[in-house]
Amino acid sequence: MFDVDEIRKDFPILQTKMNGKPLVYLDSAATSQKPIQVIQAIVDYYKTFNANIHRGIYAISEKATEAYTESKEKVAKFINAGSYRNIVYYRSTTEAINIVARSWGEQNLKQGDHVLITEMEHHSNMVPWQMLARRKGVVLDYVKLKGSAYIDMDDLNEKLSLKPKLVAFTHVSNVLGTINDAKQITKMAHEEGATVLIDGAQSVPHMPIDVKSIDCDFLAFSGHKMLGPAGIGVLYGKEDILEKMEPVLGGGDMIRTVSFYSCSWNELPWKFEAGTQNIEGGIGLGAAIDYLNKLGMNAVREHERKLTSYALKRLDEANVKVYGIKTDLDHKAGVISFNVEGIHAHDLAQIFDSEGIAIRSGHHCAMPLVNELLKEPAVARMSFYIYNKEEEVDKAIEAVEKARRLLLRKK
């Protein structure tokens, strides 16, 4: 069923070379590669039914509207949301979280209210709350980490006793690869009366997600990390909450009526989508979801779990320092941050690059975690997706040895 060699044939970029070597792409946490089916869906739209949506009473505009709405239905089904009414498109996870801070945050939080996030957040789920704290005097609290890997559940309990109005946390850390217990954390937060936002940027592309079972109030994720194009991201929200939220952007299409001095909003989800939307982005995301559904998200997770297990073993044998979880694979996604003693992560990434291997190095947009908790200026990171193979992990280990030979000048 899950045949990586067959899958790879669908990804044109994987047939290319980088620096004269076959491309080994180990940076899917930054952005995923795109299968031909997604590329083709976007090309088809531009070639055969390019038109604006919700505007034209002519066939290709109606077709574009249908395809765009259908993509939302696919997204809704993919995460087990009630309907497309729960699915708002923004540019990215980042934009979706910012909109919640601007809209829900401005409406529901006042000076002195607590917002609780964790120490493993990406800047996207940290900076918008810091900005809200500056604007409104909201108090920002952090749940501590345990063993630089897990959310400390005792500390979570303690911080929840401060009755935060909002608990916002990442489902999967983009640095540590930790899979947090989203359902349990949501339950605990709800018991204290908090609204819950989950950053699903690194989970939705890689494992089955069921928002009804998790019961979160908001979920944000990005199309470009799940085989879709850039510039399309999703904000899922419970319908009663979205109904009460004011839109942040005003303009065409998000209104029902406008007079010179007043206006009323369109129905969900359109009241949040002002102006001409990223139509090809929605269509491309729909095609990406079709592709993932064909593979099955349980199979996707299982493939990545096996690969992660293999990579952790090889890195350990090669005496490479790995951050976060090393053996508890139930709570580890296909994201591995590491360092080679004596070599800066950027130098390591450059050696990898010379071997045709793409990895990321730096603080990974999680500066507090990397700099203050892991106490590193930078870490290297490899991350996997459906098209990666054990042979590629082997090449990464060879690149580590090459870096040691070149940069450590061992006698």
Q: Catalytic residues, which ones?
A: 365
Sign (positive or negative) of CA dihedral 215, 220, 225, 231: positive
- Determine the distance from the C-alpha atom of residue 337 to the mean position of all C-alpha atoms in its chain, rounded to a whole number: 17
Shortest approach of ligand C6P to residue 225 CB, angstroms?
6
CB 220 within 8 A of CB 86: no
The answer to whether the peptide bond before residue 269 is cis (omega within 30 degrees of 0) is: yes
Residue 217's CB: how many other CB atoms inside 10 A?
A: 23
Asked if residue 28 binds ligand C6P (CB under 6 A), the reply is: no
Shortest approach of ligand C6P to residue 362 CB, angstroms?
9
Binding ligand C6P by CB under 6 A: which of 114, 238, 305, 360?
360
Pairing of strands 24-25, 357-358: parallel
CB 65 within 8 A of CB 43: no
Binding ligand C6P by CB under 6 A: which of 24, 29, 216, 379?
29
Binding ligand C6P by CB under 6 A: which of 222, 337, 339, 361?
222
Binding region for ligand C6P (CB under 6 A) out of 46-54, 104-112, 195-203, 388-396: 195-203
Binding ligand C6P by CB under 6 A: which of 39, 255, 365, 407?
365
Q: Which is nearer to ligand C6P, 64 or 96 (CB)?
A: 96
- 100 torsion bin: left (phi>0), alpha (psi -120 to 50), beta (else): alpha
**Residues in binding contact with ligand C6P, number by CB under 6 A:** 16
**C-alpha torsion 310→311→313→318, nearest 10:** 140
- 227 torsion bin: left (phi>0), alpha (psi -120 to 50), beta (else): left
Pairing of strands 145-146, 150-151: antiparallel
Shortest approach of ligand C6P to residue 197 CB, angstroms?
11
| Strand (E) or helix (H) holding 298 | helix 297-317
What φ, ψ does residue 87 adopt, rounded to 5°? -110, 110
Binding ligand C6P by CB under 6 A: which of 113, 199, 273, 280?
199
- 163 torsion bin: left (phi>0), alpha (psi -120 to 50), beta (else): left
Binding ligand C6P by CB under 6 A: which of 69, 98, 103, 124?
124
Q: Which is nearer to ligand C6P, 93 or 186 (CB)?
A: 93
90 token code pair: 């923004």
Q: What single string gives the DSSP state of each residue in 251-270?
A: STTSEEEE-SS-EEEPSTTG
Distance (Å, whole) CA 203 – CA 173:
9
Q: Which is nearer to ligand C6P, 86 or 94 (CB)?
A: 94
Q: Residues with Cβ < 8 Å from 181, sequence gap 6 or more?
A: none
Q: CA of 294: how far to CAs of 39, 106, 307, in Å?
A: 17, 41, 20
Q: Which is nearer to ligand C6P, 60 or 140 (CB)?
A: 140
Q: Which is nearer to ligand C6P, 42 or 168 (CB)?
A: 168
| 151-190 footprint of ligand C6P as x/- string (CB under 6 A) | -------------------x---x----------------
Binding region for ligand C6P (CB under 6 A) out of 176-184, 196-204, 234-242, 342-350: 196-204
CB 384 within 8 A of CB 349: no
Binding region for ligand C6P (CB under 6 A) out of 34-42, 199-207, 338-346, 349-357: 199-207
Q: Which is nearer to ligand C6P, 64 or 311 (CB)?
A: 311
Shortest approach of ligand C6P to residue 114 CB, angstroms?
22
Q: Which is nearer to ligand C6P, 206 or 238 (CB)?
A: 206
201 token code pair: 């940027």
Q: How many residues does the structure list for the chain?
A: 411
Shortest approach of ligand C6P to residue 91 CB, angstroms?
7
Please report, as residue ranges, which positions from 65 to 94 form the binding site for ligand C6P (by CB under 6 A): 92-94
Q: Which is nearer to ligand C6P, 93 or 388 (CB)?
A: 93
Shortest approach of ligand C6P to residue 252 CB, angstroms?
25
Binding ligand C6P by CB under 6 A: which of 53, 79, 201, 379?
201
Point out which residues bind ligand C6P (CB under 6 A). 29-30, 92-94, 122, 124, 170, 174, 199, 201-202, 222, 360, 364-365
